[in-house]
Amino acid sequence: GAGVSQSPSNKVTEKGKDVELRCDPISGHTALYWYRQRLGQGLEFLIYFQGNSAPDKSGLPSDRFSAERTGESVSTLTIQRTQQEDSAVYLCASSPYRGWELFFGEGSRLTVL
Amino acid sequence: DAKTTQPPSMDCAEGRAANLPCNHSTISGNEYVYWYRQIHSQGPQYIIHGLKNNETNEMASLIITEDRKSSTLILPHATLRDTAVYYCIVISGGTASKLTFGTGTRLQVTL
């Protein structure tokens, strides 16, 4: 498709399990972001990849969270030993250049029971 | 990056212009003003951005004051589909920055 694709769209897991969320950016986009949005709250920045530069991980809330990106393609966000407070919509966005026009996916809704 | 201040909520009648203000009094010379919106249950959507000059596109107009300390996003003919949270973001043109969202303005368009 032409847009940013995220999977799964919905994930229900048990506390303590690991989850992986996937983001397929728009082809050719060099920048990729992950954000978290809890119910009724604003967007929290998690991590930012720009080309081959070292990622900006300053928003990751704990060492249970990690993210990888292969070149300028797919990114995965991994949450280990999930907690109930991890329940949120995780949004991925990509950008074609060094500006700040981001294209967002529809998000992955994570529910931790 | 400079801090922005927006009213928490606004109402607008359908068909009328919606004027959403944003204060960014500490903006510096290389910082841009970006506007995004988030319709309920969707990811944010880029609307428009500017540096010094006023800008217009198919979605909206952006008016930036001469001293750049404030700006206004104008939706010329608001529709019910424009009901959303609107975010004003000030960010440096340098790549070391990251785009962070504040609390925005919740615009309710009514019949």
pLDDT tens for B37-83 read 999 989 999 999 999 999 999 999 999 999 999 999 999 999 999 99
Identify the pLDDT of residue B7.
97
Per-block mean pLDDT, blocks of 10 residues, chain A (113 long): 90 97 93 93 91 90 94 93 97 85 94 97
pLDDT value of residue B15: 97
What mean pLDDT do residues B11-38 have? 95
Q: Which amino acid is present at A26?
A: I
Question: Do B77 and B18 meet the contact criterion of CB atoms below 8 Å apart?
Answer: no
| pLDDT, mean of residues B90-98 | 73
Give the integer Cα–Cα distance in Å for A72 and A68.
Answer: 11
Helix (H) or strand (E) holding A108: strand A108-112
Q: Which residues contact A84 (CB under 8 A, 6 or more apart)?
A: A15, A112, A113
How far from the centroid of its chain's Cα atoms is residue B12's Cα?
Answer: 15
Compare B84 and B93 and report the one with higher pLDDT: B84
* Closest CB from B93, B99, B104 relative to A102: B99
Q: Is A84 helix (H, G, I), strand (E, B) or coil?
A: helix
Instruction: Report CB contact under 8 Å: A106, B42.
Output: yes
The predicted pLDDT at position A53 comes to 85
Chain B CB contacts of A107 below 8 Å: 43
Of residues A113, A91, A96, the one with CA closest to residue A38:
A91
Q: Rounded CA gap, A113 and A17, in Å?
A: 10
What is the percentage of chain B residues whose pLDDT exceeds 70? Answer: 95
- Single-letter amino acid code for the residue at A15: K
Q: Do B89 and A102 touch (CB under 8 A)?
A: no
Of A43, A98, A103, the CB nearest to B95: A98
Does the pLDDT value for residue B95 go beyond 90? no
Q: Is A105 on the interface with B (CB under 8 A)?
A: yes
Residue A6: its H or E element: strand A5-7
Radius of gyration of chain A (CA): 13
Give yes or no for residue B30 having a pLDDT over 90. Answer: no
| Main-chain dihedrals φ then ψ at residue A85, nearest 5 degrees | -70, -10
Indicate the average pLDDT of chain B.
Answer: 93
Q: Band of the pLDDT at B2, cuts 50, 70, 90?
A: low
What torsion do the CA atoms of A26, A78, A49, B36 make, to the nearest 10 degrees? 60
Tokens 């990888």 correspond to A68
